[in-house]
């Protein structure tokens, strides 16, 4: 247990130190998005990696958080610090009530239902023009302010987003290691067995679905207040799939894996930009290779690769 704590503190230390290493510039801006995406993929990983319930509609919850907080603070003058928890509460309650009927479904049917949910939310953003500004988006969302500091630069936003992300990480690590985390994994492996052991799997699934939605909503609100502009295109079906890719590439059922997946998928396109029109092909090829050769995700694949390199080195040394 102590090792885990040290690992987290080390990780947090590195993250908070990062701006000193590469100060300013565009990379800070990208790292802000790594933070937001980490939060989102942790949210999805709790549901998919731990409880084994798929969702193809998480971009919808992300968007709801962004829009609710954005509309409340822009059109109704609510303080952003109040708008964020309000949005999270509404999204959480919504997910809770929708969760009951939806989570009765399994496998492909659950995927279809959550897919539909995401698309419905997306259509609502597009069609309620008076409220959301429709397809051309909602602009002029205020930045967050605390004690005279306005979070309006990339470096400030970096600390804001990553403080939130680290809190979500710590919470999720604790949750995963707790009785609830074990119950979730039991539901993942066999729902019947879990029920026999006294886990109320139905309630548990709904609770984790709602929790996942709340974290996504929080990430959405933070996104809205740092970007100061939102439009429905950012919350479409494609983004749900991208989140799913982050979770799978990073490693199912691993919080640090979520970070690795989010970091890789957010940073990779930036590094490939030099390849001009071939970037999409390289991107796709790399993802395919990773899924083929690291089926357990980066979090398990990288140590395995490292071990293999070490053993072959040792082997060579032995022969010589």
Q: Which is nearer to other proteins, 183 or 265 (CB)?
A: 265
Q: Which is nearer to other proteins, 135 or 315 (CB)?
A: 135
Q: Which is nearer to other proteins, 38 or 254 (CB)?
A: 38
In DSSP notation, 20-63 reads HHS-SHHHHHHHHHHHHHHHHHHHHHIIIIIS----S-HHHHHH
Least separation in angstroms between CB 129 and other proteins: 6
Q: Of 214, 231, 221, 223, give the one whose Cα is nearest residue 78.
A: 221
Least separation in angstroms between CB 286 and other proteins: 18
With CB under 8 A as the contact rule, the residue among 7, 10, 23, 26 that binds other proteins is 26
Report helix, strand or coil for 148.
coil
Least separation in angstroms between CB 184 and other proteins: 31
If you ran DSSP here, which 8-state letter would residue 152 be given?
-
Report helix, strand or coil for 84.
helix
Rounded Cα–Cα distance for residues 142 and 140 (Å): 6
Q: Of 238, 234, 256, give the one whose Cα is nearest residue 302.
A: 256
Outline where DSSP puts E strands in 42-192.
Answer: 138-139, 145-146, 149-150
Least separation in angstroms between CB 287 and other proteins: 16
Least separation in angstroms between CB 262 and other proteins: 14
With CB under 8 A as the contact rule, the residue among 74, 165, 201, 234 that binds other proteins is 234
- b (16+ CB within 10 A) / e for 129-152: eeebbeeeebeebbbbeeeeeebe
Rounded Cα–Cα distance for residues 270 and 259 (Å): 17
> Segment 164-223, which members bind other proteins (CB under 8 A)?
none
Q: Is 24 in the site for other proteins (CB under 8 A)?
A: yes
Q: Which is nearer to other proteins, 89 or 136 (CB)?
A: 136
> Segment 83-102, which members bind other proteins (CB under 8 A)?
none
Least separation in angstroms between CB 137 and other proteins: 5
With CB under 8 A as the contact rule, the residue among 13, 97, 100, 229 that binds other proteins is 229
- H or E element, residue 257: helix 255-272
Least separation in angstroms between CB 2 and other proteins: 39
Rounded Cα–Cα distance for residues 95 and 205 (Å): 11
Q: Which is nearer to other proteins, 139 or 178 (CB)?
A: 139
> Segment 118-147, which members bind other proteins (CB under 8 A)?
126-127, 129, 134-137, 139
Give me the residues that bind other proteins (CB under 8 A), please: 24-26, 29-30, 33, 126-127, 129, 134-137, 139, 152, 154, 227-231, 233-234, 273, 280
């Amino acid at each position: 247990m102590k090792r885990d704590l040290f690992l987290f503190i080390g990780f947090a230390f590195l993250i908070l130190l990062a701006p000193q290493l590469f100060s300013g510039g565009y990379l800070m801006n990208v790292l802000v998005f790594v933070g937001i995406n980490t939060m989102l993929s942790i949210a999805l990983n709790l549901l998919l990696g731990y409880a084994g319930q798929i969702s193809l509609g998480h971009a919808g919850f992300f968007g709801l958080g962004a829009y609710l907080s954005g509309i409340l603070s822009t059109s109704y003058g609510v303080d952003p610090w109040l708008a964020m928890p309000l949005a999270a509460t509404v999204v959480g309650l919504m997910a809770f009530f929708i969760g009951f009927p939806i989570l009765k479904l399994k496998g492909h049917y659950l995927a279809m239902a959550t897919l539909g949910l995401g698309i419905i939310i997306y259509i609502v953003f597009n069609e309620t023009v008076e409220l959301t500004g429709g397809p051309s988006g909602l602009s002029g969302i205020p930045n967050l302010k605390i004690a005279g500091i306005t979070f309006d630069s990339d470096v400030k936003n970096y600390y804001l987003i990553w403080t939130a992300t680290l809190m979500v990480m710590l919470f999720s690590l604790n949750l995963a290691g707790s009785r609830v985390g074990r119950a979730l994994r039991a539901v993942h492996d066999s729902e019947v067995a879990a029920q026999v052991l006294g886990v109320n799997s139905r309630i548990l699934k709904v609770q984790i679905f709602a929790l996942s939605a709340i974290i996504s909503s929080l990430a959405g609100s933070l996104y809205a207040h740092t970007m100061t502009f939102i439009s429905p295109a950012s919350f479409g079906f494609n983004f749900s799939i991208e989140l799913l890719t982050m979770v799978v590439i990073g490693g199912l059922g691993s919080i640090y894996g979520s970070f690795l997946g989010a970091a890789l998928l957010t940073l990779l396109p930036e590094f490939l930009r030099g390849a001009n029109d071939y970037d999409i092909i390289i991107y796709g090829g790399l993802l395919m290779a990773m899924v083929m050769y690291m089926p357990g995700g980066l979090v398990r694949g990288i140590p395995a690769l490292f071990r293999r390199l070490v053993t072959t080195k040792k082997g060579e040394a032995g022969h010589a």
